[in-house]
Amino acid sequence: MTNNPDAVIIGAGHNSLACACHLAARGWKVAIYEQASEPGGAVKTGEYTVPGFRHDWAAMNLSLFAGSAFHSQHAAELSKHGLAFAPTANPFASVFPDGRWLGISNDATLTTARVRGFSEADAATWTKLTKDFPRDVEPILGVLDAAMNLRAISSLGWRMWRKEGGGSALDLARFMMMSPRAWLDQTFESDHVKATLAAWGMHLDFAPDVAGGAVFPYLEAMAGQAFGMVLGQGGAATMTKAMVRMIESRGGAVHCNQTVTGIKQAAGRAFGIILEDGTVVEAEKAVIANVSPAALGKLTGGTNNSRYDTALEKFQYAPGTMMIHLAMDALPNWSAPELKRFAYVHMAPSLDQMARTYAQAKGGMLPDEPVIVCGQPTVVDPSRAPAGKHVLWLQVRMAPGQIKGDAAGEITATDWAEAAEPFANRALDILERYAPGTRKHILGQHIVTPAMLEADNPNLIGGDQVCGSHHLHQHFMNRPVRGYADGTTPIKNLYHTGAAVWPGGGTGAGPGTLLAKKLVGN
């Protein structure tokens, strides 16, 4: 009998925490080691500008977590440990240079009327999509929630074939391989409607012309209308804190300020981790690494499986993101007052602009007109700021991890320490165009560059918030390596989790949950 934990986990991101919670609930003793000073990875909240103003560091939208299999199974216990949501019926909108706007609300009649303002034909299409959504989304979620192995996919495909027929199954496969532009062009006629939906592809590295991206604009639009959006009460960290408390209440531990420098292994089997001070922490059943593929290769020193090791080394990352946190004494003065009711407002005026921005960032250039995602969390949850005040959460998409130049020819700096302020000003200039006078309401500002995101969380390589591109060549059964999308590795008892593993990025905790269920059998 030893005092070793059953599972030792590297990294305290939300996938690690979800995995540990599920294992602990099944009687496993778990220990997590995190290099940062607090758990959560990209899901944390702090007063980054002015005291009393609480900002979400990176992730803000907790809808995927609220609707996840993990939350469904552990909701009561998480609630007991403080998890609280702040729902909104007005999830997102887009505003356009011509002063028009389109918002998706949790009211099909209202949303359809807004779409009708752009196109009668699109309103009819929207009505049909709304009607068919409960039926059409089921097989899509079946794929996205499935364990990505041959047995699970074969079983899912057979069930779908029997229920819907071969044609429907093939239509689904075709849809899931389409680019956002291909699907939007075949579905809608209004450029405004297309741009409103396409903006969601940019959240997950799917520019308009990238194959495999159509599903995300579709899901965000239809699910946003059907269910609204969920933020964390008091900040996204509510989910992180609740999971940590659940782990601790079941005898587990989360150790911060602990850098792991290696994975201890012998005879092709992992049995522990090595900390920076040389301490070895052994595990009885599993060593779980929530790290980037590149970092996993360094921690193991190689697995003697050249195909696997090469795939980890060559794994490709998405462009980065800049975050701008603002403490405000008022909301932006949008061209339409109704926009003050939405959790997100996108400034992404056209598919062509989004495609150009993405190409520029992929080429190492600071985009001349980045996509701006303006989060207005205090519209949903006033507790995040003093009475009558607000916080804004600006995502600037896309941004290169390594700067090679400026597409506008205005910024000469090629390191983020010097380029941060002028590039942030470019983003704020765009916000000012859509909401004149916003700058005069800023009480405090904190810029987080792609380099800062990676320094805070090494999984966010180059500021990539989804830990690796979701393009088809490294998604589904290829995420992160063909044959290892279920979290296994060539080393026995060593497992991989996090956004780099199927089903990928987002706050749904899918990778951690699927791995935990694999380890305990349910």
3-state secondary structure of 448: strand
- Structure-block tokens of residue 169: 């199954």
Rounded Cα distance, 351 and 93, in Å: 16
Which domains are assigned to the chain? 7-44+58-84+235-315+467-520 (3.50.50.60)
DSSP state of 138: H
Q: Residue 3 carries which side chain, given as an amino acid letter?
A: N
Rounded Cα distance, 394 and 376, in Å: 9
Q: How confident is the model at residue 429 (pLDDT cuts 50, 70, 90)?
A: very high
pLDDT in tens, 37-93: 999 999 999 999 999 999 999 999 999 999 999 999 999 999 999 999 999 999 999
Smallest CA-to-CA distance from 194 within 224, 214, 170 is with: 214
Give the pLDDT score at 135: 87
Smallest CA-to-CA distance from 325 within 48, 38, 92, 52 is with: 48
pLDDT in tens, 53-64: 999 999 999 999
| 321, 397 contact by CB (below 8 A) | yes
Give the pLDDT score at 408: 98
Rounded Cα distance, 5 and 9, in Å: 10
| 239, 83 contact by CB (below 8 A) | yes
pLDDT over threshold 90, residue 153:
no
Smallest CA-to-CA distance from 482 within 10, 150, 141 is with: 150
pLDDT over threshold 80, residue 312:
yes
| 429, 306 contact by CB (below 8 A) | no
Say how many Å lie between the first and final Cα of the chain, rounded: 26
Complete edge-to-edge strand list for the sheet that includes strand 286-289: 253-255, 30-33, 7-10, 286-289, 494-496
Q: How confident is the model at residue 171 (pLDDT cuts 50, 70, 90)?
A: confident
pLDDT over threshold 90, residue 225:
yes
- Tell me the pairing of strands 320-328 and 371-375: unpaired
For residue 32, count other CB atoms closer than 10 A to its CB: 27
DSSP state of 236: T
DSSP state of 318: -
Smallest CA-to-CA distance from 139 within 113, 126, 158 is with: 158
Rounded Cα distance, 5 and 273, in Å: 12
For residue 301, count other CB atoms closer than 10 A to its CB: 10
Rounded Cα distance, 417 and 322, in Å: 12
- In the chain, pLDDT over 70 holds for what percent of residues? 96
Greatest CA separation for the chain: 71
pLDDT in tens, 376-385: 999 999 999 9
81-113: b (≥16 Cβ within 10 Å) or e: bebebbbbbbbbbbbbeeeebbbbbbebeebbe
Smallest CA-to-CA distance from 510 within 144, 103, 41 is with: 144
The DSSP-derived string for 472-513 is GGGSGGGSSSTT-TTSB-SSBTEEE-STTSTT-SSSS-HHHH
Q: Which of 37-41, 168-172, 299-303, 304-308 has the lowest mean pLDDT?
A: 168-172
Q: Which residues contact 136 (CB under 8 A, 6 or more apart)?
A: none
- Structure-block tokens of residue 247: 């782990």
pLDDT in tens, 314-334: 999 999 999 999 999 999 999
The DSSP-derived string for 346-405 is EE---HHHHHHHHHHHHTTEEPSS-EEEEE-HHHH-GGGSSTT-EEEEEEEEEE-SS--E
Phi/psi region, residue 354 (left: phi>0; alpha: psi -120 to 50; beta: rest), is alpha
DSSP state of 205: T
